[in-house]
Every structure is written in C-alpha cells, then in structure tokens.
Structure 1
Amino acid sequence: MKIVVAVDGSAYTRKALDYLVAHRAQFVEGNELVLVNVCAAIPPHASRHISKELLNEYYSDESAKVLEPVKAQLSELGVSNYSIQSRHGSAAAEIVAAAKEVNAGLIVMGTRGHGTLGRALMGSVATNVIADAGMSVLLVQ
C-alpha cells in the first residue's frame, strides 16, 4: 500500500513520522511512503513577472528546506522505502491530489490540534483533507 505523508517541516511532521516508525510493522514494512511537501504558490499577478526558471528554483529551494531534515530523520530511523513529491499551491488540495495520483490507501498528517474553535476561526488543512480525500486519513497529534 502507498501511504502519503504530508510534510511541512514542523514539529508535527516529526511526531507523525515518529508515530509511523514506532508502528513500523503496520505502516512502514511492506508499504511505500510518499512524502508530499506543498509550498504556498506565488500569486499569479506576481509570478507572471518572474521567469519560469527562477520560479522553479524558488519552489525547489523552499521544498529542500523542509525535505532535507525529513530525509535525515528517516535515515536516522532506518526508513528508506519512500519517494518524494514537491508541489505548490493549496496544501489540502495538493495533498489530496497527490494521494489520488499514486492511488494511496492512507494519508498521514501531523496536526496542531487547535480544537473546534480554532478550526472554525482559522480553517484547517487537515479538516479540508479529511473532507476531500475520499480515503482514510490518520491525524497524529
């Protein structure tokens, strides 16, 4: 089974990865992890004034800032069966799209756990992923 793991470089990402490895037999062994990092997109009114090469370099650099520590963590934990997708745009939409493209059976995300009031006021990537995914989503707090 392919398991999409949303990674944003936060402490919540580290907790989610630690959880997966702590339950290695269920989530890691025999499965392929697909790490998905989503950078916020540069607005179209600004990006049209930037060369495509410079824009791609920006997205690549931003993803590397998140993914290099994640790759180091996975190496420390002895996990090597993963692939990486770097995307830009709406985090929830891109996570769901990546999961559907690879035919994932599960999406795993760390969550800040703001509670009901926080979600109502600020919205939540996790809430939107759950609403749109059409597959199982595991939230690790």
Structure 2
Amino acid sequence: MNEDIPAQKRVVVLAMDGSTEADAALQWFAKNIYRQDDEVLVIHCLHHTASHAMGCTEHMTMGVLFSSFQSLDLKAIEKAFQKETNDAVRLCSQLEELLQQYEIQGKVIRVQGDPGHKIVTTAEECKASLIVLGSRGHGAIRRTVLGSVSDYILHHATIPVLVYRH
C-alpha cells in the first residue's frame, strides 16, 4: 500500500430515534468502532403521521379510523405536529450532548419523512460507508404489520449496515 496516498475518511451514519436501543447502539459504536478520523453523522428522522396526530393507535380498524376523519379537530392535529417537532428539536440537542460525552466528532442532522427511506437516501447523499442503528426487537407479526426501519434499511441500503441488538 502506498504511504503517500491518504486513506479516505470513513463516513458513518448513526440512525437515532431517542429509544434506549438507539442509545445502546451509539454507546457500542463509541466503544468498539469509532475512530477519531471518522466523519460521524447522526440522523434523526421526524415522521409526522396523521393517525398518530389524531390519537389513533395501531389497533384501530379502518372503520374507526374513517369515522375519526369525519370529526377532525385541525387545531388538535396542528398542536400534535408542533409537539412532535418540538420533541425532535429537543432530542437533537440531547444527541449533540451525547456526541460530546462520548468524545465523538460529528454532527446531528434532522430529516423529515419515512425513516427507513430518509436514512438510506441521506446515507447515499453523504457517501457514507456504514450505517449503524439499534433494533427494538419487535416480533415477526408486529414487524410485518407495522414495518421495521431496520428491516427496510437492511434491504435497501447499498452499504454495510450494523444493527445493534441490546
């Protein structure tokens, strides 16, 4: 290997959602993988959903959901969206503090949209060489019904993905 050619800087994307599983993945990354010359990008994805904002649960049927559309309280939806946005801003601030605590040089990026898709596309745009995320360990049925961010990333990313299971 030629010593005159500098090694390409490694770009690592950490997907963080504020869960204990994501925090554990960050801690594991800091102890086991992080190198001082890494460019670390912590991505938090804000995903507003109408059903979440209306107070719907995953157990509601389509009929119940449809009837709730007839009595929409737009102020309540706006308030819920604002709360989600404020929570995301607060979480990003906490993530910046965690980076400092673990002595990781990096930055926090807040994106909006479908988490799996946004993490994969942001990693591609940043020319990342690795994606790290935590797994919540949902069962097969729940993952099939609700979907799984880690499952989506594993199947759509074109770079290595490390899913840390606590």
TM-score normalized by the length of structure 2: 0.68
Q: Give 1:72's aligned residue.
A: 97
Distance 2:36 2:13 in 1: 14
Query: Which secondary structure state, in structure 1, belongs to the residue aligned with residue 137 of structure 2?
Result: coil
Aligned to 2:134: 110
Aligned to 1:54: none
SS at match of 1:27: coil
In structure 2, what is the Cα distance between the partners aligned to 1:83 and 1:68?
A: 11
User: Highest CA radius of gyration, 1 or 2?
Assistant: 2
Identity of aligned residues (%): 24
RMSD (Å), alpha carbons: 2.5
Q: 1:32 aligns with which of 26, 35, 39?
A: 39
Q: Which amino acid is 2:102 matched to?
A: L
Q: How many residues align?
A: 130
Deviation at 1:117, TM superposition (A): 3.5
Conservation of the 8 A alpha-carbon contact between 1:39 and 1:62 = no
Q: Partner amino acid for 2:13?
A: V
Distance 2:150 2:46 in 1: 16
TM-score, reference length from structure 1: 0.79
Aligned residue identity for 1:14: D
State whether residues 15 and 43 of structure 2, in contact with CA within 8 Å, keep that contact through their aligned partners in structure 1: yes
Q: How far does residue 59 in structure 1 lie from its aligned partner after superposition?
A: 7.2
Question: Deviation at 1:123?
Answer: 1.4
Q: Which has the higher helix share?
A: 1
Q: Structure 2: how far apart are the matches of 1:72 and 1:100?
A: 26
Alpha-carbon distance in 1 for matches of 2:90, 2:158: 30
Q: 2:110 aligns with which of 66, 69, 86?
A: 86
Quick one: distance in 1 between partners of 2:35 and 2:94?
A: 19
Tell me which stretches of 4 or more aligned residues in structure 1 moved more than 4 Å. 57-60
